[in-house]
Amino acid sequence: MPGYYLVCRKHMNFHYINKQSPLILASASPRRERLLAQTGLPFRPVASDVEEEGLSGEPEEVAQILAERKASQVALQARNSWILGADTMVVVDGEILGKPRHREDAKRMLWRLNGRGHRVITGFCVLNPLAAVAHKEAVTTLVKVKALTGREIDAYVKTNEPFGKAGGYAIQGIGSFMVSHISGSYTNVVGLPICSMIEALLSLRALEGFPIPHKSHRTEEDASGL
């Protein structure tokens, strides 16, 4: 689903994201923090506390609504900042699989995914420094899980990795053993579609450019004095 822009920057002069004015990540997810850290983008995490269950509607719409709610809640604590909220969900046969509540719930989810394809949808929302919605988008990745045995499912649940993960597995962890292939963004499955997010920030002119140069990093040309 293509993103859309709700605030025009033409007559506004917002600051760029930088070390003095980092992007605010409205999440306590260590996975999203690691993904953003890998980009070199200056950011600061601020945990949000939004109820993720009980909404009805198309998964893409629900993911974007939750992302906006997370970002808006954090905006009260981080004024005059660019803010990013995100929500990831796993969908199989129209059923949204959230985070497993206990071991039996985790096993149920894994049996639902067993030997089948499913969608991983991440909705993300960017608020500008006036706390207005500047961009919302939902990105979908198709994931195929291999045929699992009951023994594999039981053993995986005992690692405790399924807990705190939508759909009950982590593609970036032990759970990678069960993913036979994907179609789409890998980072989207982890929790944040980096490519789409960077494109949105550049289009909004929240970033002056990307990648962001690090002055402390000397190139071979610098070292040779050329």
pLDDT tens for the chain, 226 residues: list them.
444 444 444 446 799 999 999 999 999 899 999 999 999 999 999 998 887 776 778 999 999 999 999 999 999 888 899 999 999 999 999 999 989 999 999 999 999 999 999 999 999 999 999 999 999 999 999 999 999 999 999 999 999 999 999 999 999 999 999 999 999 999 999 999 999 999 999 999 999 999 988 765 444 444 445 5
Residue 183 sits at the vertex; the CA angle it makes with 180 and 184, to the nearest 5 degrees, is: 135
Half-sphere exposure of 131 (CA within 13 A, CB side): 13
Catalytic positions, written as ranges: 87
Are the beta carbons of 67 and 124 closer than 8 angstroms?
A: yes
Indicate the domain borders of the chain. Answer: 4-209
Select the CATH number that applies to the domain covering 4-209 from these four: 3.20.20.105, 3.90.950.10, 1.10.3720.10, 3.40.50.2300.
3.90.950.10
pTM of the model: 0.86
Tell me what pLDDT residue 4 has: 46
For 8, the token pair is 């025009």
Provide the angle, in degrees to the nearest 10, between the axes of the packed helices 194-203 and 30-39. Answer: 60
Tell me what pLDDT residue 50 has: 82
Q: Which residues pair with 92 in a beta bridge?
A: 95
Tell me what pLDDT residue 49 has: 83
Neighbours of 127 (CB within 10 A): 26
- Rounded CA-CA distance 148/20 in Å is 48
Alpha helices in the chain (DSSP H): 30-39, 59-75, 103-113, 150-158, 186-190, 194-203, 220-224
- Rounded CA-CA distance 213/210 in Å is 8
Tell me what pLDDT residue 215 has: 65
Are the beta carbons of 97 and 166 closer than 8 angstroms?
A: yes
